[in-house]
Amino acid sequence: MRILHLVPGSGGTFYCQNCLRDHILIRALRAKGHDVVLVPLYLPMYGGAVAAEANAPLFFGGISVYVREKLPFLRRMPGWLDRLLNLPGLLRQAAMREGSTNASGLGSMTLSMLEGQHGNQGQEFERFLDWLRTQPRPDVIHISNALLLGFVPAIREILDTPFICTLQDEEPWVSAMEPPYERLCWDVMSRHGAQVSRFIATSRWYADRMMDRMRFSPDQITVLYPGIEVPPEPPSFQHADPPTIGYLSRLNRTQGFEDLVNAFMVLKREPALASLRLRATGGATPADTPFLTEIETRLGNAGFLEDTEIDWNFQSAPGEAFFQGLTVMCTPSREGEAFGMHIIEAMARGIPVVQPRAGAYPELIGDGESGVLYDPETPHGLTGALREILTRPDQAGRLGEQGYLRARELFSAERMAGEMIALYESVLDASPASP
- Name residues whose C-beta falls within 8 Å of residue 179's C-beta, 6 or more positions apart in sequence: none
Does 288 or 183 have the greater pLDDT score?
Answer: 183
Spatial contact of 372 and 388, defined as CB atoms under 8 Å apart? yes
Neighbours of 255 (CB within 10 A): 22
The C-alpha atoms of residue 327 and residue 396 are separated, in whole angstroms, by 8
Whether 244-410 and 2-228+413-430 are alike in CATH topology: the answer is yes
- Name residues whose C-beta falls within 8 Å of residue 341's C-beta, 6 or more positions apart in sequence: 17, 20, 21, 226, 228
Q: How confident is the model at residue 95 (pLDDT cuts 50, 70, 90)?
A: low
Distances (CA, A) of 118 to 124, 289, 416: 11, 39, 35
Q: How confident is the model at residue 100 (pLDDT cuts 50, 70, 90)?
A: very low
Q: Region 115-130: what's the mean pLDDT?
A: 93
Confidence check: pLDDT of 307 > 90: yes
Q: Region 28-45: what's the mean pLDDT?
A: 91
Confidence check: pLDDT of 47 > 70: no
The domain made up of 244-410 has a fold known as Rossmann fold (3.40.50)
The C-alpha atoms of residue 100 and residue 259 are separated, in whole angstroms, by 21
Confidence check: pLDDT of 419 > 80: yes
DSSP code of residue 263: H
Per-chain mean pLDDT for the chain: 90
Q: Region 20-37: what's the mean pLDDT?
A: 95
Neighbours of 261 (CB within 10 A): 22
Q: How confident is the model at residue 46 (pLDDT cuts 50, 70, 90)?
A: low
The domain segmentation of the chain, as residue ranges, is 2-228+413-430, 244-410
Neighbours of 125 (CB within 10 A): 23
Confidence check: pLDDT of 33 > 50: yes
User: What pLDDT does 383 receive?
Assistant: 98
User: What pLDDT does 357 receive?
Assistant: 95
User: What pLDDT does 16 receive?
Assistant: 85
Work out the percent of the chain whose per-residue pLDDT is above 90: 68
Q: Region 197-215: what's the mean pLDDT?
A: 95
Tens-digit pLDDT profile for residues 131-140: 999 999 999 9
Superfamily for 2-228+413-430? Answer: Glycogen Phosphorylase B; (3.40.50.2000)
User: What pLDDT does 96 receive?
Assistant: 60
Q: Tell me which of 56-60, 93-97, 141-145, 340-344 is least confident.
A: 93-97
Q: Region 274-280: what's the mean pLDDT?
A: 97
Distances (CA, A) of 402 to 186, 364, 365: 39, 12, 10
Q: How confident is the model at residue 11 (pLDDT cuts 50, 70, 90)?
A: low
The C-alpha atoms of residue 130 and residue 158 are separated, in whole angstroms, by 10
Omega before 180 within 30 of 0, i.e. cis: yes
Q: How confident is the model at residue 284 (pLDDT cuts 50, 70, 90)?
A: confident
Q: How confident is the model at residue 435 (pLDDT cuts 50, 70, 90)?
A: very low
Q: Tell me which of 65-69, 121-125, 158-162, 169-173 is least confident.
A: 65-69
User: What pLDDT does 48 receive?
Assistant: 52
Q: Region 163-181: what's the mean pLDDT?
A: 92
Q: What is the pTM of this model?
A: 0.92
Tens-digit pLDDT profile for residues 48-89: 545 567 788 889 988 888 888 888 888 888 888 888 888 777
Confidence check: pLDDT of 338 > 90: yes
Q: Tell me which of 76-80, 348-352, 423-427 is least confident.
A: 76-80
